[in-house]
Amino acid sequence: MDIFTEPVDETVAETSAEQPVDAVVLLPVAELHLHIEGTLEPELIFALAERNGIELPYADLGELRSRYEFTDLQSFLDLYYANMAVLQTEADFADMTRAYLTRAAQGGVRHAEIMIDPQAHLSRGVSLETCINGVGSVLANSLEEFGISTLLIAAFLRDLPEDDALEVLESLLAMEAPLVGIGLDSAEVGNPPAKFERLYARAREAGLRLTAHAGEEGPSSYVTDALDILGVERIDHGIRCMDDPDLVERLVDQRIPLTVCPLSNVRLRAVDTLADHPLPAMLAAGLNVSINSDDPAYFGGYVDENFSQLAAVLKISAFDRARLAANSIHSSFASEERKTELLDELNAV
């Protein structure tokens, strides 16, 4: 199945496919599944804590890193939310964003669609203006400064009531926050997509793009419901779709993007090991998959590290890596002009 609307040059593809697995070429990619709070590296956590006079519950970097062995999604979320305490000012959010873009540029990212969790900051007394303006101040110049075009997505916490999410969305719209769309994240099990039908209807009415986490820990039916009830254009994770052949056929036919995060899936025990990951089967089925880092500071790898480990462990070929990169560009919310630029850059590799 030819998934390239503007194909990668076949000569390049054939040559690349013959390269040894360890010759992993750095490809220009779009990162579509990235939580900015999940890019807080331990060193930056300690630096921001010192700047803001916050006493951390960890004696040193080693003790903090020792807590990065997660048993499930909730065990990660507990640490993820606790570490957000160091984010207090616009400068803190800006420094976090700048650090991510610096590292992402080194890994081949040329376009990033960045999720932020506004409810997680409001609940600890940090205003919308502080978190949105802090991140937004860096994103506004990201292409010039880092060579990365960026878009911002407000992700809502699915374990909180829909009314809370609606109130926050209205506030974001009132302040004209520079958003391209909304997402849905946090604890999936027990919080089905149907819980947020009104939220997504309001976002659609406001002209925002729609995506949602589904089918990571939750069942394949959550993917179906995110499509049918919420009307999303893109599924974040989606690996459980493989449990439902009819759903797989639908996703292939409709070219629905799935933003898969392999190292995240392993760290959160959604799959036992990288060798067990369903990505090869997803590619064989013709699914529109892209590779993303999710929360790279916690899960052991940015996008380039995900690609390297996929090549080493799953023997993903150079051609399929190019295919994954092209999928990421086509599946982005970037302008058609920007997509063309990125596809041209990919074809040139």
Q: What is the CATH number of the domain that holds 246?
A: 3.20.20.140
How much is the pLDDT for 186?
93
| Averaged pLDDT for residues 63-74 | 91
Question: Three-state SS for 109?
Answer: strand
Domain that holds residue 48: 10-348
Q: How far apart are CA 72 and CA 55, in angstroms?
A: 27
pLDDT of 336 over the 90 cut = yes
- 66 part of a folded domain: yes
**Residue written as token pair 């331990």:** 42
How much is the pLDDT for 23?
54
Q: What is the dihedral of CA 274, 62, 87, 81, to 10 degrees?
A: 50
- 94 part of a folded domain: yes
For the chain, the domain total comes to: 1
Q: What residues have CB less than 8 Å from 56, skipping those under 6 apart? A: 45, 46, 49, 64, 86
- 1 part of a folded domain: no
Q: Which residues pair with 267 in a beta bridge?
A: none
What are 284-334's pLDDT values in tens digits?
A: 999 999 999 999 999 989 999 999 999 999 999 999 999 999 999 999 999
How much is the pLDDT for 208?
98
How much is the pLDDT for 25?
83
The catalytic position among 31, 90, 113, 216 is: 216
How much is the pLDDT for 107?
97
**pLDDT band (50, 70, 90) for residue 3:** very low
| Averaged pLDDT for residues 152-164 | 97
Q: How far apart are CA 258 and CA 241, in angstroms?
A: 10
End-to-end CA distance of the chain: 22
- 253 part of a folded domain: yes
What are 16-67's pLDDT values in tens digits?
A: 333 333 457 899 999 999 999 999 999 999 999 999 999 999 999 999 999 9
- 4 part of a folded domain: no
Q: How far apart are CA 40 and CA 52, in angstroms?
A: 15
How much is the pLDDT for 73?
85
- Helices 162-174, 197-205: axis angle to 10 degrees equals 20
% residues pLDDT > 90 (the chain): 90
- 273 part of a folded domain: yes
pLDDT of 136 over the 70 cut = yes
- 3 part of a folded domain: no
Q: Catalytic site residue 216?
A: yes
Helix (H) or strand (E) holding 153: strand 149-157
Contact 113/31 with Cβ under 8 angstroms? Answer: yes
Mean pLDDT, all residues of the chain = 93
- What are the tokens at 214? 């589904």
Q: How far apart are CA 64 and CA 54, in angstroms?
A: 15
- 206 part of a folded domain: yes
